[in-house]
A and B are shown apart, each in its own frame.
Chain A
Amino acid sequence: MSNERHTAANDKKVRRLDIATHWQLMWWRFRKHRMAMLGTAVLGIFLIISLFAEIIAPYDTHTRNTRYLQGPPMGIHFFDNNWNFHPRPFIYGRVNKRDPVTYRLRAVVDTSLRIPLRFFTRGETYKFWGLFKSNLHLYGIDKGFINLFGTDQLGRDVFSRLMYATRVSLSVGAIGVFLAFIVGIFMGGIAGYLGGIADELIMRLMEFIRSIPTLPLWLALAAALPRDWSALKVYLAVTAILASIGWTHLGRRVRSKLLSLREEEFILSARLAGCSDARIIGRHMLPSFMSYLIVDLSVSFPYIILAETSLSFLGLGLREPIVSWGVLLYSAQNIRTLAEIPWLLISGLFVIIAVLAFNFMGDGLRDAADPFAK
């Protein structure tokens, strides 16, 4: 009896596998990859940050806390000095005192002053996505400033800047990958589908681009941008520059897949049915290797982010008032600043975490892309 039920359950499982769509199979396989799930979760957090940067950041990127220049991160506490527990987290206040030796004003932690943290509080007014006016923030304090990750040389809140920078850096990655994707599909599509001279030329072009050391090339291209361009224009141009070199991997993949698919019977039948070339590529070929393309996309994302960070770090990429991870690191360029304000390196930590997360997710996707493989 129990044995019978067992086989019935087994049958059901088998049937479930048989009738599952390709994407379902991929998802089941992806779910098993723990690091990939972790990476995806982290990227989800990054996505939330970039979508709601205005709400999560307590201040604008240019609000200055002039009484707290180069201030170290403010710790959040639950216990005060006497180990009394406070259910509402708080920070200690800061008082400015003169250093007896250097006579410079320095902010000193005042443990007698407890400032409770408020959540979903009203604060600075901003325009959400540049559309709606609001002043709701995830957290804040009633009076004064809260700088969870400290402040920079001008007293700007590093945490807030980092939230906005996350949005910018990820968007550069997203737009860059998207552009590279389009160019890659287009060029790879022509090469793989038409073959012959077009294929030869495009392959040579890809090989040529790949043989050039990318960073110097990116640097040279970025240095060619006019200095008087607005920050937004530079942003778009830098993204386009990154994509202009990043498409070769995708192009190569598209080409090789198309070449192997071209011989398949369902393509032949589509052609016999009178489909146009564009329809065959777009409707029949692309969907059948979309999953591989998604893997390549997730893999090329971190390259673009790293490249943007490097460019901006050198002062050749994005620039103020647009802040990205690289722009934030730009101010940590020399060792003296670094020794005085090491918390500026937190943005570097964000870069590493984001790239790691993308790599893990890419690994999982690669395994999942071919759900029938062992």
Chain B
Amino acid sequence: MLNLIVRRIVATVVTLFLISVVAFILIQLPPGDFVDAYAGKKTQGGVIITQEELDVMRVRLGIDKPFYHQYLSWIGGVIRGDLGFSWEYHRPVADVIAERLPLTLLLAFCTLVFTYLVAVPLGIYSAVRQYSIGDHAATLIGYIGLATPNFLFALILMYLGQKWFGMSVGGLFSPEFEDAPWTLARLWDLIMHLWIPVIVLGTASTAFQLRTMRATLLDELNKMYVTAARAGGVPEFRMLMKYPVRMALNPIVATLGWELTNIISGAPIVGIVLSLPDTGPLFINALLNQDMYLAGAMILIYCTLVIIGTFISDMLLMILDPRIRLEGRS
């Protein structure tokens, strides 16, 4: 088992390295650099900028150096916790992100919890009461949840909230709590706002997990050991929880990493639509302005989150499923 863990850690580190290269290449891709974007903006504003000034700026920013040189200086900084300087915000990238990252993490965590809290019981119900009205309803909602793009779902919720409840769905706090110190009332306000992005982000994953749970549990329920347990007189609910549900949980745990990928992947666009003060709008604005260090750092962080998630789900699976543990030994 130790062998397996070490192998997984090595693989994770290699993936992280590759991702840092990809992130850096992506950031270098846009034609023109930050200096060009900066010059374009200034010229639009009526300020005249000479070529010499731009060149000086390039040298100062280190943009004139070759690719690998820029990469090495960037990744060296990243390892030391220095993510570079955001030219858009005129502040270190690490500071800009640090302000908003906790919210993204909170959102991702709440969404994961929501997904499993809803999907697992509903999946069990759907499988046990196959073809009941509840099962059909869950299937239908699942289909629609999978088919609706996150941002559209957010738009519709916003529209309905505005129309029927006259409340602003966007943002994380009501205006009166925006800059208030942390109190219970503010926390409550946050919770009242947080459930919307959580539902928006979580619906597709919930639908997917629900279907997986239902399908695997249905398979398990047909197996002989279930009949044997019933014949042995184990109460139905206890039998269900103790044997088939445990088996059916394996694929759910195995896809935890994917779920995290989905959530992280969907978060930026939902953040934009609901104007959340999380990393989403930050990331997309950075891309639009070609604020390369900020965008690169964001991609790196998103990917790292996902890789850590996958790693954790692998470890969990190893604990849950002895077959995988034994495989590592041989």
A residues adjacent to B (C-beta < 8 A) = 208, 211-217, 219-221, 223-224, 226, 302, 306, 309-310, 313-316, 329, 332-333, 335, 338-339, 342, 345, 348, 351-352, 355-356, 359-360
Question: Which one, B19, B159, B273, B295, contacts A345 given CB within 8 A?
Answer: B159
Q: Which of B266, B290, B310 has the most CB of A within 10 A?
A: B266
- Chain B 11-27, CB-CB to A under 8 Å as 1, else 0, gives 00001001100100011
CB of B177 closer than 8 Å to a CB of A: no
Whether a CB of chain A sits under 8 angstroms from the CB of B151 is yes
Q: Known interface pairs A213-B261, A213-B302. Does A220 touch B268 (Cβ–Cβ under 8 Å)? A: no
Say yes or no: A345 contacts B147, CB within 8 Å: no
Q: Is B302 a contact partner of A351 (Cβ separation < 8 A)?
A: no
By a CB distance below 8 angstroms, the chain B residues around A226 are 30-31
The total number of A-B Cβ pairs within 8 Å is 123
B136 to chain A, nearest CB (A): 12
Q: Separation in Å of the A40 CB from the closest CB of chain B?
A: 16
**Is there contact, CB below 8 Å, between A356 and B149?**
no
- Nearest-neighbour CB distance to chain A for B43, whole angstroms, equals 15
Q: Indicate if the CB atoms of A216 and B149 lie closer than 8 Å.
A: no
CB distance from B227 to the nearest CB of A (A): 20
**Contact A220–B287 (Cβ < 8 Å):** yes
- Complex: A177 Cα to B26 Cα, angstroms: 23
* Separation of A17 and B162 alpha carbons in the complex (Å): 58
Contacts of B257 in A (CB 8 A): 211
Residue of B nearest to A336 (CB): B162
What residues of B have a CB within 8 angstroms of the CB of A345 in the complex?
152, 155-156, 159
Question: In whole angstroms, what is the CA distance A371 to B163 when docked?
Answer: 50
| Cβ A224 vs Cβ B29 within 8 A | yes
Known: A214-B265, A342-B159, A348-B155. A219 touches B284 (CB 8 A): yes
> Complex: how many Å from CA A351 to CA B151?
12
Q: Which of B254-288 contact A (CB under 8 A)?
A: 257, 261-262, 264-266, 268-269, 272-273, 283-284, 287-288
A226 to B295, CA, bound (A): 17
B146 and A220 form a contact (CB under 8 A) = no
Would B152 and A351 count as touching, CB distance under 8 A? yes
Q: Is B120 an interface residue (CB 8 A)?
A: no
Partner among B148, B163, B168, B266 whose Cβ is within 8 Å of the Cβ of A215: B266
Contact, CB under 8 Å: A215 / B268: yes
Q: Which chain B residues border A359 with CB–CB below 8 Å? A: 143, 146-147
B299 near A335: Cβ-Cβ < 8 Å: no
Q: Are A221's CB and B29's CB within 8 A?
A: yes
With the chains together, A219 CA to B283 CA distance in Å? Answer: 10
Which A residues are in CB contact (< 8 Å) with B158? 335, 338
User: Does B172 have its Cβ within 8 Å of any Cβ on chain A?
Assistant: no
A220 and B159 form a contact (CB under 8 A): no
- Does chain A have a CB within 8 A of B122? no
Residue interface mask B146-179, A partner, CB < 8 A = 1: 1111111001101100110000111000000000
Q: Mark B283-312, 1 if CB is under 8 A from A, else 0.
A: 110011010000100110011001100100
Q: Which of A215, A313, A339, A355 contacts B159 (CB 8 A)?
A: A339
Beta-carbon contact of A211 and B298 below 8 Å: no
Q: Which residues of chain B come closer than 8 Å to A220, judged between CB atoms?
A: 26-27, 29, 287, 295, 299
Contacts A335-B159, A356-B143 given; does A216 touch B298 at CB 8 Å = yes
Query: What's the minimum C-beta distance from B294 to chain A, rounded to whole angstroms?
Result: 12
Nearest A residue to B268 via CB reads A216
Contact of B144 with A by CB under 8 A: yes
> B155 near A215 (CB under 8 angstroms)?
no
Q: Across the interface, do A208 and B18 meet the contact criterion of CB distance under 8 Å? A: yes
Asked if A348 and B273 make an inter-chain contact with CB atoms under 8 angstroms apart, the answer reads no
In the complex, chain B residues whose CB is within 8 Å of the CB of A351? 147-149, 152
Q: Is the CB of A302 within 8 A of B147?
A: yes
Q: Which 8 A-B pairs have the closest CB atoms?
A: A224-B29, A213-B265, A223-B287, A355-B147, A215-B265, A348-B152, A220-B26, A224-B30
Q: Which one of B152, B163, B264, B284 contacts A339 once the chains associate, using CB atoms below 8 Å?
A: B163
Measured in the bound complex, the distance between the Cα atoms of B303 and A339 in whole Å is: 36
Are A219 and B162 closer than 8 Å at their CB atoms? no
Q: Are B144 and A352 closer than 8 Å at their CB atoms?
A: yes
Sample of 26 A–B contacts (CB below 8 Å) = A211-B257, A211-B261, A211-B306, A211-B310, A212-B303, A213-B264, A213-B303, A216-B298, A216-B302, A220-B287, A223-B30, A224-B29, A224-B30, A226-B30, A306-B149, A309-B152, A310-B150, A314-B269, A315-B288, A316-B288, A335-B168, A345-B159, A348-B152, A352-B147, A359-B143, A359-B146
Chain A contacts of B266 at CB under 8 A?
A: 215
- The reply to whether B149 and A310 contact each other, CB–CB distance below 8 Å, is yes
* B159–A310 touching, CB < 8 Å: no
Of chain B, the residue at the smallest CB distance from A315 is: B288
Q: Give CA–CA (A83, B276) in the complex, Å.
A: 50
Q: Which residue of A lies closest to B287 (CB)?
A: A223
Least distance between A150 CB and chain B CB atoms (Å): 15
Minimum C-beta distance from A373 to chain B (A): 14
Q: Knowing A352-B144, A356-B144 touch, does A338 contact B303 (C-beta < 8 A)?
A: no
Cβ-closest chain A residue relative to B272: A314
**11 other A-B residue contacts (CB within 8 Å) besides A216-B268, A224-B29, A345-B159:** A213-B265, A213-B306, A223-B287, A224-B30, A226-B31, A316-B287, A329-B151, A329-B152, A335-B162, A352-B148, A359-B143
- Known A-B contacts A213-B261, A216-B268, A216-B302; the reply to A208 vs B15 at CB < 8 A is yes
Q: Which residues of B contact A309 (CB under 8 A)?
A: 149, 152
Residue of A nearest to B305 (CB): A213
Q: A213-B302, A224-B26 are in contact. Are A352 and B15 (CB under 8 A)?
A: no
The complex places the Cα of A352 from the Cα of B152 at a distance, in Å, of: 9
Smallest CB separation, B155 vs chain A (Å): 6
**Residues of chain B with a CB closer than 8 A to A360's CB:** 143
Given contacts A217-B299, A302-B147, contact A338 B155 (CB under 8 A): yes
Interface-central residue, A212, A214, A359, by most chain B CB under 10 Å: A212
**Selected contact of A216 from candidates B29, B170, B299, CB within 8 Å:** B299
Residues of A close to B18: CB separation below 8 A: 208
Cα A348 to Cα B160 with chains together (Å): 15
Known: A224-B30, A226-B31. A215 touches B269 (CB 8 A): yes
